[in-house]
C-alpha cells in the first residue's frame, strides 16, 4: 500500500508521464483485443474512452484530457481502421473525434469540481479543528486564571504567616501551616501536569505516539503516584487475571487515572475506599473509578468534561477538576476511546474505554 501511494503521488506530480503511460497501455490492450479478437472497433472505442476517463480524473485542467482525445482519435484511425497504418478519415471520424472531446471535457470538469469540493471540505475540517482548539484554549485560560490563583494565594498566605509570626505559634500550628503549603503545592503541581498534558496533545493531536503497554503496570504506576500525593488515600483495585496489553501513551493514561482518583478524593467526599476497576471487553478495555460520596448533580452531568472551571463545586477552597476532567476527555479522544460519568446510587462513577490493538486507529 505504501508503494502504491508513492507511485500515485509521483504520477500526480508528472501529468504528462501519467497520460503517456495510460495511452500506451490502452493502445497495447486495444491492439491485443483487435488482432487476437474479432476486430471489433466498438471494443477499441470503449478502451480509449476508459483511458480518457482515467487521464481526466488523474490530471488537473483540460489540457491532458483534450490531448489524449486527439491522440486516441489518431490511434484509432491509424491502427484500427482500414486501411491500416494510414490516416484516412471517414465520415464517422469527426463524430468520434467530437465525442472523444466531449467525454474528455465532461470528465475533466467533473474531476475539477470534485477536487475543488474535496479541498473545501478539508479546509472546513481544518477550520473546525482550529476553532475547537481555540475554544479549548480560551476555556482553559479562563479556568486557569481562577484555579491557579487559589493555591498560590494559599501558599503565599501560609508562608507569610509562618515567617511573620513563627515565634507566636505552637509546633502544631506550624505543622498545620506547613501542611497547608504542602497541600497547595501538590494541587498546583497537579494543575501544571494537566496543562502540560493537554499542550502535548494539542501540539500533535493527529500523530499521538502509542506503544503496546501492560494495563496492570500503568494502573500500578498511577496508584503509586497518587499515594505519594495523598498518603492516606484508600483505593481498592480490581484487575482481570489475564495480562491485558493495549496501545496507549502510558504517561497520558496514568494522568487520566490519577485525575479520576483525585477527583473522587477531593470532590467526592467518599466515605469508603475508592474502587478502581479494569474490565476486559471483546473490543476494548474499560476503566472505572467509583467513589461513595455526594455524587454529581444532574445539571452538571452533561457538562462535567467541559473546561469551564465550574464543572464541580468547590471543596476545601479548590475548584479546578473541571480542567482535569476536560483534559481527560482530550486524552481519551486522542486514543480513539470513550469517556463518561454517572451516578451509581451511592456516589459517582467516572469511566473510560481504550480500544484493543486490532481495533485501534493510529
CA dihedral 331, 337, 338, 341 (to 10 degrees): -50
Average pLDDT over residues 153-181: 83
| Cell numbers representing residue 96 in the block | 468520434
> Would you state the pLDDT for residue 230?
80
Q: Are 229 and 259 in contact (CB under 8 A)?
A: no
CA dihedral 149, 153, 155, 157 (to 10 degrees): 180
Residue 204: which residues within 8 A CB-CB, separation 6 or more?
Answer: none
Domains detected in the chain: 2-123 (no CATH), 209-359 (3.30.565.10)
Q: Does residue 251 surpass a pLDDT of 90?
A: no
Higher pLDDT, 56 or 101: 56
Q: What's the distance, Cα to Cα, between the start and end of the chain in Å?
A: 16
Rounded CA-CA distance 145/134 in Å is: 16
**Of 27-36, 100-109, 212-221, 303-312, highest mean pLDDT:** 212-221
Rounded CA-CA distance 5/11 in Å is: 10
| Residue-wise burial string across 101-139, b where 16 or more C-beta atoms lie within 10 A, e elsewhere | bebbeebbeebbeeeeeeeeeeeeeeeeeeeeeeebeeb
Q: Does residue 338 surpass a pLDDT of 60?
A: yes
Q: How far is CA 322 from CA 146, 209, 311, 338, in A?
A: 12, 26, 5, 17
pTM comes to 0.54
Q: Lowest-pLDDT range, 101-115, 169-183, 190-204?
A: 190-204
> Would you state the pLDDT for residue 337?
92
Q: Where are the beta strands (DSSP E) in the chain?
A: 211-214, 235-238, 245-248, 274-280, 284-290, 338-343, 348-355
> Would you state the pLDDT for residue 38?
64
Q: How far is CA 101 from CA 26, 68, 223, 299, in A?
A: 17, 9, 71, 64
Rounded CA-CA distance 255/323 in Å is: 13
> Would you state the pLDDT for residue 136?
63
Among residues 310, 328, 307, the alpha carbon closest in space to that of 319 is found at: 310
Q: Does residue 214 surpass a pLDDT of 90?
A: yes
Q: Does residue 135 surpass a pLDDT of 80?
A: no
- Please write the tens of the pLDDT for every residue from 257-287: 988 998 888 776 767 889 999 999 989 999 9
Q: Does residue 321 surpass a pLDDT of 80?
A: no
> Would you state the pLDDT for residue 12?
55
Q: Are 286 and 278 in contact (CB under 8 A)?
A: yes
> Would you state the pLDDT for residue 215?
94
Rounded CA-CA distance 140/191 in Å is: 11
> Would you state the pLDDT for residue 204?
52
Residue 146: which residues within 8 A CB-CB, separation 6 or more?
Answer: 309, 319
Mean model confidence pLDDT for the chain? 77
Tell me the angle at which helices 171-203 and 149-165 cross, rounded to the nearest 10 degrees: 150
Amino acid at each position: 500500500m505504501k508503494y502504491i501511494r508513492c507511485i500515485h503521488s509521483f504520477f500526480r506530480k508528472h501529468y504528462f508521464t501519467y497520460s503517456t503511460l495510460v495511452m500506451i497501455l490502452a493502445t497495447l490492450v486495444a491492439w491485443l483485443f483487435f488482432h487476437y479478437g474479432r476486430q471489433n472497433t466498438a471494443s477499441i472505442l470503449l478502451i480509449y474512452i476508459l483511458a480518457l476517463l482515467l487521464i481526466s480524473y488523474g490530471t488537473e485542467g483540460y489540457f491532458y484530457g483534450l490531448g489524449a482525445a486527439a491522440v486516441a482519435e489518431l490511434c484509432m484511425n491509424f491502427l484500427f481502421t482500414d486501411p491500416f497504418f494510414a490516416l484516412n478519415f471517414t465520415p464517422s471520424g469527426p463524430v468520434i473525434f467530437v465525442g472523444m472531446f466531449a467525454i474528455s471535457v465532461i470528465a475533466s470538469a467533473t474531476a475539477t469540481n470534485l477536487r475543488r469540493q474535496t479541498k473545501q471540505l478539508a479546509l472546513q475540517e481544518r477550520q473546525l479543528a482550529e476553532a475547537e482548539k481555540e475554544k479549548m484554549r480560551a476555556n482553559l485560560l479562563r479556568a486557569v486564571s481562577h484555579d491557579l490563583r487559589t493555591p498560590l494565594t494559599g501558599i503565599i498566605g501560609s508562608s507569610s504567616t509562618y515567617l511573620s509570626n513563627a515565634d507566636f505559634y505552637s509546633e502544631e500550628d506550624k505543622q498545620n501551616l506547613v501542611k497547608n503549603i504542602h497541600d497547595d503545592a501538590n494541587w498546583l503541581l497537579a494543575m501544571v501536569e494537566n496543562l502540560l498534558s493537554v499542550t502535548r496533545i494539542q501540539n500533535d493531536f493527529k500523530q499521538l505516539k502509542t506503544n503496546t503497554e501492560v494495563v496492570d503496570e500503568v494502573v500500578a504506576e498511577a496508584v503509586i503516584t497518587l499515594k505519594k500525593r495523598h498518603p492516606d488515600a484508600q483505593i481498592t483495585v480490581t484487575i482481570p487475571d489475564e495480562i491485558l496489553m493495549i496501545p496507549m501513551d502510558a504517561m497520558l493514561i496514568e494522568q487520566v487515572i490519577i485525575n479520576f482518583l483525585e477527583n473522587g478524593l477531593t470532590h467526592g467526599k467518599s466515605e469508603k475506599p475508592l474502587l478502581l476497576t479494569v474490565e476486559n471487553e471483546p473490543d476494548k478495555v474499560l476503566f472505572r473509578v467509583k467513589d461513595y460520596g455526594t455524587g454529581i448533580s444532574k445539571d452538571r452531568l452533561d457538562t462535567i468534561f467541559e473546561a469551564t472551571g465550574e464543572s464541580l463545586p468547590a471543596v476545601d477552597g479548590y475548584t479546578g477538576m473541571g480542567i482535569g476532567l476536560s483534559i481527560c476527555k482530550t486524552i481519551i479522544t486522542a486514543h480513539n476511546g470513550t469517556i463518561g460519568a454517572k451516578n451509581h446510587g451511592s456516589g459517582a462513577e467516572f469511566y473510560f474505554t481504550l480500544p484493543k490493538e486490532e481495533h485501534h486507529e493510529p
